[in-house]
Structure 1
Amino acid sequence: MDRGSCYNLVMHDINFVNPYLHGLYAPVREEISAEKLEVIGEIPRDLHGAYFRNGPNPKTSPKGMHHWFDGDGMVHGVWFENGEARYRNRYVQTQDLKANGSSVLGGIFDPARDAPGRKVHYRDTANTDLVYHNGKLLALWYISGQPVAVDASTLETICTETFDGALPNNISAHSKVDPETGELVFFDYSLYEPKMWTGTVSAQGELTQFQEIDLPGPRLPHDMGMTENYVILHDLPVIFSDSAIRNRLWQIHVADQQTRFGVVPRKGGAPKWFEFPTCYVYHVINAWEEGDDVVMAACKMVPNGFEPDAKYGPYAAMADVLALRAQPFVWRMNMKTGKAREEQLDDALSEFPVVNNNFAGRKTQYSYHVIFDDCIEQRFTGLLKYNLLTGASERHHFPKGVFGSEPAFAPKVSADGEDDGYLITFTQDFDGRSEAQVIDAQNISAPPLARIKLPQRVPLGFHGVWAPDV
C-alpha cells in the first residue's frame, strides 16, 4: 500500500480533515453488554481473566479544534472463562464527562485554564492507559491526570481515586504494578514547573511513599521504568508549549538537550542521573537489575519519514506527531561506577511494547510489540515478538485491511515459563467488524487460536491490560 492511498481508505471524504474522528477512529456511543459471544476456533480452557483496552471516544460531537487525546475515555473488555467469552464497554465517568459540556477546561488545542479544586489545566479524559491494581482498574491520562477507579467485573466507574485523600497531585499514564509486592509505582510531572514526582501505593491502596524531583525545566515525559528497587524517570528533550499549540503542534523538541534517565530508589532518595545522546522515548518495554547495573529496554523514536499533508488541513501537525516510529534499545546504567551505555536491539520499527506482567521489573526474555502500517495514521498491521537476549523476532500479520490494538499477555492458568500463555488483542476492519483474537504466544506466527466476534465496532485506541481471574 502506498502512503497516499492510506488517506482515502480512512477518510472516505475529503472534507473530513481530522483523521482521528472518522473511519477506524470514529466513536461508538452505545454502551452494551453481550454474553456467550460467537467464536471462530476455540477459546483455550486455561485462559481465565479479562482483556481491557482504553481509548478516546467523544460522547458528543467536538466543537472547534479536537485532538485525539481529547476524546472521552471508553473501556472495552472481554472476559474469558470455561471456553466462553462476554463483552462490555463503558465510558469512564471522569469529572469532565459528568460535567456534560459545562466543564471550564478545554482540550489540548485550547488555552490552559485553572479549575477550582482541580490539579489539571486541560480536560482530563482518563482515555490513555489502564492499570490493574488492588482488584480494580485505574484509568489514566497522558498529560498526568486524576486516576479513575473502574470495576473490573462491570466497567462501572467507582470513583476518582485519591487513595483515601492522600494523593498529593496526579498520576501519569504508564505507572507500574510490582507483581511481587502488589505495589503501584507511579510518576507525575508538571507542564509548567521544573518538577517531577514519584510515589508508591501499597497492595491495599495506601500511599506509602511520595517525593519531589527537581529538573532543569518543565518536561513532557510519557513513561517510566520500574525495577525491584528503583524507579527510572525520563528527562527528555520535549516540552509542552502554549506557543506550539497555537501552531497546532502542542509539543516542541529541544534539539541541543541531552536525554537523561534518573534512577531513584523506590523507598525514597536522591536520583542518580545518567546522560545519553538526545532522543525521545514514548514506551518502556521493561526494566530490571543485573548486579550493579540498572537496565531499561524501551522503544526509541526515529523520524517517521512522512511529509505534512495538506489534506489534513489544520490537523497535519497532529497527524505527524502521532505517526510513531521507533526501534528497540537497551540502556545500561551502573549505580557504582556511573558508567552508562546504549545498545540497539534491532532496526525494525515497532512500538506499544508489552511483557508478561508477572515479570514486570524483573529480567525478561520476551516482549510483544505492534507493527505499524506504512501510513501516517496510527494503526497496527501485526504483532512482533522479541527475544530481548538475542534480538531475534517473530511476526504475526493480520489479514489485509484488518488492524489490531496493543495486545496484553495472558499467562495460562498453570503457566510453565515466561512466554507460556496467550496474546489478546482487538481488531477492526474497514467494514466496521471487530473481533477479540487469542494468539499462542509461543507460536505467534500461526493463525489465532480463537477469533471472538464482537457485537459492535471497537475503534482504534490506546493501551490495554490483562486482569487475571476477574
Structure 2
Amino acid sequence: MRTTIRDVTLLAIDSDSPYLVPPFGPVHAEVTAEDLDIIAGEVPRDLDGVYLRTGPNPRVLASGRPHWFDGDGMIHGAEIRDGRITYRNRWVDTTGLGMELDAGAAIWPGLMSPPDRSLKMAWGSDHFLKDASNTDVAVYQGGAVSTFYQCGDAYRIDARTLETKGTIELPRMGVRSMSAHPKADEQTGELLFFDYDSKPPYMTYGVLAPDGSLRHHVAIDLPGARLPHDMAITENYTILHDLPLFWDPKLLARDIHKVTFYPDMPSRFGIIPRYGKGDSIRWFEADPCYIYHTVNAWEDGDEIVMIACRHMEPEPRRNLGDTEFSRMMAWLRMDATLRRWRFNLKTGEVKEEILDDLNSEFPTINGLMTGRKSRYCYNVTIADHDVLWFDGLIKYDLETGRSDRYRLPEGWMLSESPFAPRKGSRAEDDGYVISYATESASGKSEVLIFDAQNISTGPICRAAVPQRIPPGFHSCWVRGETIPA
C-alpha cells in the first residue's frame, strides 16, 4: 500500500457532543492510499468503478451549539479496478468553507442556534446556514454532484480524484437552489431535482439535461413552508412530497425554527409529468407520516408504485439523556419500516402496505433501475443505540417478500451501501454491494465488498483503510465505463 497524507488544522473542534468525538468525530487528514492491503478474500476483477460516500467532517465548527448536520462535507472514495482498491478522502471545497478558512473562524451559526440576519450571504431553506454540502452524492455526467439537505449549491465532484470542480451554475439558469436527493436517471443521463424554501415559491422542481443545460424548471404551489427530504421518479413522472412535519408557522414568523409534526394533517404526494407545468401536478392524500428516504418508484398500468421507508415517530416524544444535546440525539434516532404506496392515476385512490417491520433505512438499488420496476433494495439495519448506528445490511426481495441479512460483529458500524453491477451483468442483482465499516473502539476502518446475491454470507473481500472513516450519510456507485478517461 502506497499512502500520501495531507494534514490540516481543524478550527475550534472542541465539544463533548457524542457526534463530535470518535467514532463520529472528524478526521484531520486528506489521504490517498493506493493498492489497499487485503485482509480477507480478494477484490473481484469484474468490478470497475468508484464508491463515494459523504458525510459531515467539520473543519470549522459552527458558532453556538453544534449539530451533527453542521459539519463540512467530506467524501470518502474507494476506486476499484483491475482487482485493486485505491482509497481517497477530500473535503468538498464549498464557498462557505473557503470563506471561514480565510477568516480563521466560524462565520455562520449552526442548525441549533438562532439565525444571524446581519450576514450578507447564507444558504438553506431559511437562508441563515452555511451550505456544508455534506448530505448526498448523486451520479451525473461521469462524476458526482454533492448537495446539502437544507438546499444550496450543487458542487461537481471528480469521481476519481474527489476534487471539487466548481458548481453547476444554477442561478445563471434561473434556479434558486438544489436540495439533497436529486435523482439520477442513469438510462437517460438526466438529473431531476427539487428545492424548498421558507418563502414562496415554497418548492421548485427541475430537470437537468445530460449536457448540463436546464431542460425543465417549474414552481410547485404549496400551502406553506415545508421540509421535504426526498423525492422519487418514474420514466414519465416525478413524485414530490408535502408531509406534515415542518416548522411551526407561528414561530417561523418570529424567526424561530421549531420543527413540529401535525398528526391531524394528511401526507400529500404530488405526481407531476417529468416535464409538466406546475399546475399539472396531482395531489394524493395518505395517512400522516414522514419519509426521509425513498427506495424507488415505477409505473404499473394506471398506478404509480412508490417504495419508501416510513418513520414511525416523526417527532420524538422524549429526549435522550439530560445534556444540551439530548434533543438532538432524540431527533437523530431512526425508527423506520419499509412500505409500499400505490397511487391510482385513474381513480385517485391511495393504498399503503407494510413490507417489513424491521428498523432499516438508507436504502439503495441498482442505479440503472431508477424509475423502472425494480425487485431488490439494500438497506442498512439500525441498532437500538443512543446514537445513529448502522449495525448490518439487509437485502429485500420486493416481489417475494423474502430478505437476506448480514449483521456486523459487535462494535462495528456500517455505511450506506450502494449496489455495483459486475461488468457484463445480466440480472438486476448480478453484482456487488460496497460499504465502509468502522470499529468504534479501535477506529479501524475497512472497505467491504458483498456478493449481492448472497448478502448473509458476509463480505467476500475486506480491505484495510489507513485512517478512521467516521459514520456519515449518503453514497453512490459511479460505473467505471461512465467516467471520462
- TM-score range with shorter-chain normalisation? over 0.9
Match of 1:435 among 421, 442, 446: 446
Query: Any unmatched runs of 5+ in structure 2?
Result: 1-13
More displaced 10-residue stretch of structure 1: 386-395 or 271-280: 386-395
- TM-superposed deviation, 1:413: 0.7
Of 332-341 and 418-427, the range deviating more from structure 2: 332-341
Alignment of 1:217-296 (within 5 A): 217-240=224-247, 243=251, 250-269=258-277, 270-296=280-306
Indicate if the aligned counterparts of 2:51 and 2:478 stay in contact, CA closer than 8 A. yes
Deviation per CA, 1:16-62: give whole Å up to 9, x if none. 64111012101002111111110121000001001010000011345
Determine the C-alpha separation between the residues in 2 that align with 1:402 and 1:65.
28
Question: What is the CA deviation profile of residues 232-273 of structure 1, one whole-angstrom value per residue up to 9, with x for unaligned ones?
Answer: 0000011135959x9998522122211000001111231111
> Which whole-Å CA distance do the structure 2 matches of 1:44 and 1:328 have between them?
31
CA distance in 1, matches of 2:247, 2:92: 25
Aligned-residue identity in percent: 42
Q: What is the aligned partner in structure 2 of residue 34 from structure 1?
A: 33
The code of the aligned residue for 1:441 comes to A
Corresponding position: 1:353 with 2:353: no
CA distance in 1, matches of 2:257, 2:335: 18
Deviation at 1:398, TM superposition (A): 0.9
Alignment of 1:33-432 (within 5 A): 33-40=32-39, 41-100=41-100, 102=103, 104-113=107-116, 115-116=119-120, 120=124, 121=127, 122-162=129-169, 165-193=172-200, 195-240=202-247, 243=251, 250-269=258-277, 270-303=280-313, 307-311=318-322, 313-430=323-440, 431-432=442-443
Distance in 2 (CA, whole Å) between partners of 1:383 and 1:147 is 29
Letter aligned with residue 141 of structure 1: F
Across the aligned residues of Structure 1 and Structure 2, the Cα RMSD in angstroms comes to 2.2
In 1, are the aligned partners of 2:63 and 2:109 still within 8 Å (CA)? no
Q: Secondary structure at 1:274's aligned position in 2? A: strand
Q: Which amino acid aligns with 1:278?
A: P
Question: Contact 2:79–2:85 (CA<8 Å) still a contact in 1?
Answer: yes
User: Deviation digits for residues 353-400 of structure 1, max 9, x if unmatched?
Assistant: 110001000000000000011112111000011011222111011111
* Contact 2:391-2:412 at 8 Å conserved across structures: yes
Following TM superposition, by how much is the alpha carbon of 1:116 offset from its aligned partner in structure 2, in angstroms?
4.1
Name the residue aligned to 2:455: 444
CA distance in 2: counterparts of 1:302 and 1:190, whole angstroms:
26
- Cα deviation for residue 191 of structure 1 reads 3.0
Write the letter of the residue equivalent to 1:355. Answer: I
Deviates more, 1:264-273 or 1:417-426: 264-273
For residues 213 and 255 of structure 2, the distance between their equivalents in structure 1, rounded to whole angstroms, comes to 42
One-letter amino acid of the counterpart of residue 20, structure 2:
L
Q: What amino acid is the match of 1:20? A: Y
Q: Within 2, Cα distance between the matches of 1:371 and 1:170?
A: 32
Q: 1:448 to 1:154 in 2, by over 3 A?
A: same
Write the distance in 1 (CA, Å) between the matches of 2:264 and 2:113. 28
Deviation at 1:325, TM superposition (A): 1.1
> Structure 2-normalised TM-score?
0.90
Count residues with an aligned counterpart. Answer: 455
Q: Report the Cα distance in structure 1 between the residues aligned to 2:169 and 2:255, rounded to whole angstroms.
A: 35
What is the distance in 2 between the residues matched to 1:183 and 1:442?
A: 29
CA drift of 1:77 comes to 0.3
Residue 165 of structure 1 deviates from its aligned partner by: 2.2
Alpha carbons 1:109, 1:250 under 8 Å: kept: no
- Does 2:470 correspond to 1:462? no
Alpha-carbon separation, structure 2, partners of 1:167 and 1:38: 48
Letter in 1 for 2:268: R
Q: In structure 2, how many angstroms separate the alpha carbons of the residues matched to 1:247 and 1:231?
A: 32
Alpha-carbon distance between aligned partners in 2 of 1:383 and 1:129, rounded to the nearest angstrom:
19
1: CA distance, partners of 2:202 / 2:317: 33
State the match for 1:5 in structure 2: none
Contact 1:164 1:206 in 2 (8 A): no
Give the 3 Å change call, closer, same or farther, for CA 377–192 of structure 1 in structure 2.
farther
Aligned with 2:329: secondary structure? helix
TM-score, normalisation: structure 1: 0.92
